Amino acid sequence: MKIYSHENLSLHRPLPYFSYGKMHEPLEIPERMVEFLKAPAALGLEVTTAIDVGITPILAVHDFGYVEFLKHGYDEWMAVEEDLGAQVQTGIFVPYDNPGIGIMAKAAKYQADDSAPISEHSWTSIYWSAQTALNAAEALLNDEKPETERADSHIQLCFSRPPGHHARKSAAGGFCYLNNAAIIAEHLRQKYKKIAIIDTDMHHGQGIQEIFYDRKDVLYTSVHGDPVNFYPAVTGHAFEKGVGEGEGYNINFPMPHGTDEAGFFEYVDKSIEAVTLFDPDIIVHVLGFDVYENDPEARCAVSTEGFKVLAQKMKALNKPLIVLVEGGYYIQKLNDNLQAFLSGLISEDNSNSQLT
């Protein structure tokens, strides 16, 4: 197994923001990386520093104007004579009938909500988050060994900060800017015919759904909290199944709020069943630790031990696997929960473990 990270993932620091009628302290903060990185160290696992593979795979998924906004938006914001505040954020979303003239209009065009502000070092972290994921994809693309030899690239885990699954083709939101899962899925298509993305983050990954909604080469399946009055609120229902030739290749499993751990795994098993039927060449797992029982975003109750079980289920699919570590905001347990997940990935026992 290989684990990828980069020191630049820790640079992005969002400021407090206003939404749903009150101020919020940011949850997606650099301290998360400090805790996450303790886990491989505790298990004696090496972390590889990602290298730059360029912007082309990013532009294969995201609109050029949007990526330019992420890259230069902060400088343009600060260049405005009037003090607009320390981060790019407007509180309005006008994606259509908006020519994007001036940085305020661009922000309104490309920021779907106030939880994805752009501050001084945001772009550096956003870019390297995508690069970190792309390093795992590159390892698979360059791997000449037959699958039976179980190369290092068979199982890979990448730190994905800021996370990506809410990022749309041309809009940031829900702490996400570039859709790392979609970027690597698209990049892997040059070698692999069928790719499955399994999302077990607490929230529906509406960005991934949007990007692949009309395609049958990338299956998206997501287990998440029922979106009724829960972020992202407007997507994630079971009736969203894809369109055109993509119909049937988007499978949502919204969980009733308050689902217990056994219930969570029932949904995960259904999602795995769908993936098995699809028989992909490779699996991308969007891993959110915000399903953890004490997480401020949790609407279900997965235990620390549960993350080991989740990892074993992913491993038991016996396909090349890239895990992207995305959500998870209960800082005190990120290390333990990631250790549990990693121990499931490295355990020799490849059987589908059950909770005891």
CA distances to 35, 195, 209 from 191, in Å: 35, 10, 22
Which region among 141-149, 177-185, 289-297, 304-312 touches Zn ion (by CB under 5 A)? 289-297
DSSP 33: H
- Give 123 or 329: the residue with its C-beta nearer to Zn ion: 329
Q: Which of 140, 188, 202, 325: binder of Zn ion (CB under 5 A)?
A: 202
Helix or strand or coil: residue 186? helix
Q: How far apart are CA 299 and CA 263, in angstroms?
A: 12
Closest contact distance (angstroms) between CB of 262 and Zn ion is 21
CA distances to 35, 36, 53, 205, 219 from 127, in Å: 21, 19, 11, 19, 25
The tokens describing 107, both together, are 């922000």
- Give 168 or 319: the residue with its C-beta nearer to Zn ion: 168
Does position 288 bind Zn ion by CB under 5 A?
yes
Nearest CA-CA partner of 315 in 356, 343, 339: 343
Closest contact distance (angstroms) between CB of 199 and Zn ion is 9
CA distances to 47, 141, 155, 273 from 41, in Å: 8, 27, 18, 34
CA distances to 34, 184, 236, 249, 356 from 204, in Å: 26, 19, 5, 15, 28
Q: How far apart are CA 53 and CA 58, in angstroms?
A: 10
- Give 227 or 344: the residue with its C-beta nearer to Zn ion: 227
Closest contact distance (angstroms) between CB of 291 and Zn ion is 8
Question: Is 165 an annotated catalytic residue?
Answer: no
The tokens describing 145, both together, are 């060994």
Does residue 299 contact residue 257 with C-beta atoms inside 8 Å?
yes
Does residue 200 contact residue 286 with C-beta atoms inside 8 Å?
yes
Number of residues that bind Zn ion (CB under 5 A): 6
- Give 174 or 344: the residue with its C-beta nearer to Zn ion: 174
Does position 299 bind Zn ion by CB under 5 A?
no
Closest contact distance (angstroms) between CB of 158 and Zn ion is 17
Does residue 307 contact residue 347 with C-beta atoms inside 8 Å?
no
x/- site string to Zn ion, residues 206 to 235, per CB under 5 A? ------------------------------
Does position 203 bind Zn ion by CB under 5 A?
yes
Q: Which of 2, 327, 329, 342: binder of Zn ion (CB under 5 A)?
A: 327
- Give 187 or 333: the residue with its C-beta nearer to Zn ion: 333
Q: Which of 28, 35, 114, 290: binder of Zn ion (CB under 5 A)?
A: 290
Q: Which of 201, 240, 295, 336: binder of Zn ion (CB under 5 A)?
A: 201
Which residue number places its CB atom closest to Zn ion?
327
Which region among 101-109, 250-258, 281-289, 306-314 touches Zn ion (by CB under 5 A)? 281-289
Strand arrangement, sheet containing 250-255: 47-49, 2-5, 155-159, 321-325, 282-287, 195-199, 218-225, 250-255
Which region among 49-57, 202-210, 269-277, 340-348 touches Zn ion (by CB under 5 A)? 202-210
Of 62, 154, 165, 166, the catalytic one is 166
* Interface with Zn ion (CB under 5 A): 201-203, 288, 290, 327
